[in-house]
Structures are given as C-alpha cells and as structure tokens.
Structure 1
Amino acid sequence: MNQHFHRRNLPHLYFSDGIYFITSRLKNSIPLEKLEQLKNESLNIDDEKQKRLFKKYDALIDSGEYGEKYLNNVKCAEIVKSTLHYPDGKDYKLICYCIMPNHFHFVIGLLPKNKGISKIMQSIKRISARDCNKVLNRSGAFWQDESFDRWVRDDKELYFVIRYVLLNPMSAGLVDNWYDWEHTYCHSDYLVL
C-alpha cells in the first residue's frame, strides 16, 4: 500500500488503495471566519475529536445560511452525478453519494492503477464546474479548492459513513425519508438502511 502526505490548509493522507469518504463544497459556502475557527480547532486532535469537528463543518454547510445553492438546479445536480459516475469502474468503485444544495458527499473504493485521489477530485471538480457554469451562465470559481477526505479504516466505520451520507438530506431537514431525495445513490452491495 503506497501512501503520501499532502498539506494545503487541511492535512491529507492519501493511500493508493482503500475506501475514502469525501466531501466537496461550493465556493463561499462557509464564511472565512467560521473556517478559521474550525481550522484552529483541528490542530493536534485525535480521531474522535476529528469526527465531532467534521459534524460541525457539515452542520455549517447543511444550514444553507451561507453562499449559493447552485446544486438545487436539477441540471447542475445531474452534471455532478454524471461526473461522479464516470470514473466508476475505472479509478474507483462508486459506493454511494448524496448531492446537497451546496455540497456533495461520496464514498469510493479505489481500484488498482487509479490515478490517485488528488487527480480524481481535480477531474471531477474541473468538469462539473465547467459544465455547471455553462448551465448557470456564469464564470469563475465554482468549488472550494480543497475537499474534506477521510480514509475509511474498517467495515464498521464504512457502515456509519454510508448511513451518514444517505441520511444527510434528512439531517438537513430537506426530506422525511432518505430515499425521497432524488440526488442520492447507493450501490446495492452497500445499501445499509
């Protein structure tokens, strides 16, 4: 198992295989002062505190208080869906995803000879930003530069991550049942609800 450490604003530990939980959000979906607060809280924390910190982060984007909600546009949500499905079977096995109004979560299992998380995410963001900007008749940055990513360590964690992704529309108060959210997908091998 090859690995490398990458740091921008967030630390990233990438392995060449395994399962990843990734969250990507639209540009300006969290105000800078709130991000700084989260960044300061993230210094030197253990795994359990990191999970609680992610819940704070996700609650901020789920609140819908900040930034644009371009992914409410059905055409944009469909573009993101197709960019998530395209590498399925090539670079990764797509386990599940949920596309929310201003962010998306997805879980993937990396396949042998994949091009790596960083390049996979660059491709997904570049293509979806270009196509969504066309639909919205806008230009400029669409996605936040960095995504949140977490290497899933075992089957128990995978179970909870999948539940978290699928239940996100319910947690955000958008639907009463997760399966009513049309921008959710889960491979049948992993359906846990």
Structure 2
Amino acid sequence: MAKTLTKGRRSITGQVYLITACTKNREPLFSNFNLARVVVNHMKKAQQRGDLNFVSWVIMPDHFHFLISLEGDSNLSDVIGYIKGTTSHQICKRLNRQGGIWQAGFHDHAIRNEENIIDVARYIVANPLRAGIVKSLKQYPHWDSIYL
C-alpha cells in the first residue's frame, strides 16, 4: 500500500499539502496527552529546521492531519519521514516497545489554487468535534491553525 501512496508524489517548494498518517492498527496512542505532545514537539523541530511551515494541524488519538507549506529544497517524504521516525523512536522508548508506532507511508494531497485553504484548515481542526471527542475545540489541546 505504501508504494502506491508515492506514485505521482511531487515535492514543490511553497506548495501547500494536506498530509494524513495513521498509527499501526489505528492504536489510539495519542489519547495519552504526553505522547501526543511528543508529536507536537517534533513538528516544531521540523519547522525550526526550515523544512516546512504549518498552516493547520490536529493530532487525533490514532492519526494526524497536517496542512503544511513545504519550504526550502525539502522533500515531502523526507520531512514526514523525519517527523514519524523521531516520534516513533521517542514514543517506543517511553513505552518500552520495538517496531515503531506508525503505519507505513502517509497520504498527501497538494492543495490546488482553486481549493479554499481556509476551508481545508477548518475541516482539519474540526476533526475532534466530528469524532465526538469534544463539544468545543477549546476542550481539545492538540491542534492549531494560522486561520483560527
């Protein structure tokens, strides 16, 4: 499955991408506040490295959605691989397990000019509401958007 996800994938500087990745077997690891914050911390490191800029994001119990702008001469697969690899290593160490935490690959969608980035950003951060996890985004700690 992961190989088919890379078919036609392009890394274009300044392009906005919607990225989705799931934990292995959809394990709800990020119901644990501290494990979700591991992902957030490594997201920030990737942005500080100049790989990307986050437009909107949400960490759900068993997956994440990122709306990012690829920066510099970064490669999309390398950037997401960095985030998934570093988080997997740290979380496995905390949980005293081996084998990683993520499903192979990730889904990406390049946002086209005619698509409304603000609508996509709002859709992303509203995931906890649609999933019935919270009744208000104020109750959910693992999201951010430059538009809200």
TM-score normalized by structure 2? 0.89
Distance between the aligned counterparts of 2:28 and 2:56, measured in 1?
A: 21
Tell me which amino acid in the other structure corresponds to 1:178. L
- Greater relative contact order structure (CA < 8 Å, 6+ sep): 2
Tell me which amino acid in the other structure corresponds to 1:163. R
Task: Give the structure 1 partner of residue 22 of structure 2.
Answer: 25
Give 1:127 shift: 0.3
1:15-63 deviations in whole A, cap 9, x for unaligned?
322101101100122xxxxxxxxxxxxxxxxxxxxxxxxxxxxxxxxxx
Distance between the aligned counterparts of 1:165 and 1:79, measured in 2?
A: 20
Distance between the aligned counterparts of 2:25 and 2:4, measured in 1?
A: 15
Tell me which amino acid in the other structure corresponds to 1:16. I
The counterpart of 1:78, out of the listed 37, 44, 48, is: 37
Quote the sequence identity (%).
Answer: 30
* Bigger shift: residues 131-140 or 11-20: 11-20
Tell me which amino acid in the other structure corresponds to 1:128. T
Please list every run of 5 or more consecutive structure 2 residues that lacks an aligned counterpart in the other structure.
Answer: none
CA gap 1:12/1:133 in 2 versus in 1, 3 angstroms: farther
2:133 matched to 1:183? no
Secondary structure, in 3 states, of the residue corresponding to 2:68?
Answer: strand
CA gap 1:121/1:12 in 2 versus in 1, 3 angstroms: farther
TM-score normalized by structure 1? 0.70
Task: Give the structure 2 partner of residue 121 of structure 1.
Answer: 80
Superposition map of 1:4-23 within 5 A? 8-10=3-5, 11-17=7-13, 18-23=15-20
Give 1:166 shift: 0.6
Task: Give the structure 2 partner of residue 34 of structure 1.
Answer: none
Structure with greater Cα Rg: 1
The counterpart of 2:127, out of the listed 159, 164, 168, is: 168
Task: Give the structure 2 partner of residue 151 of structure 1.
Answer: 110
> Structure 1 segments of 4 or more deviating over 6 A?
none
Contact 2:89 2:100 in 1 (8 A): no
Alpha carbon RMSD of aligned pairs, Å? 1.6
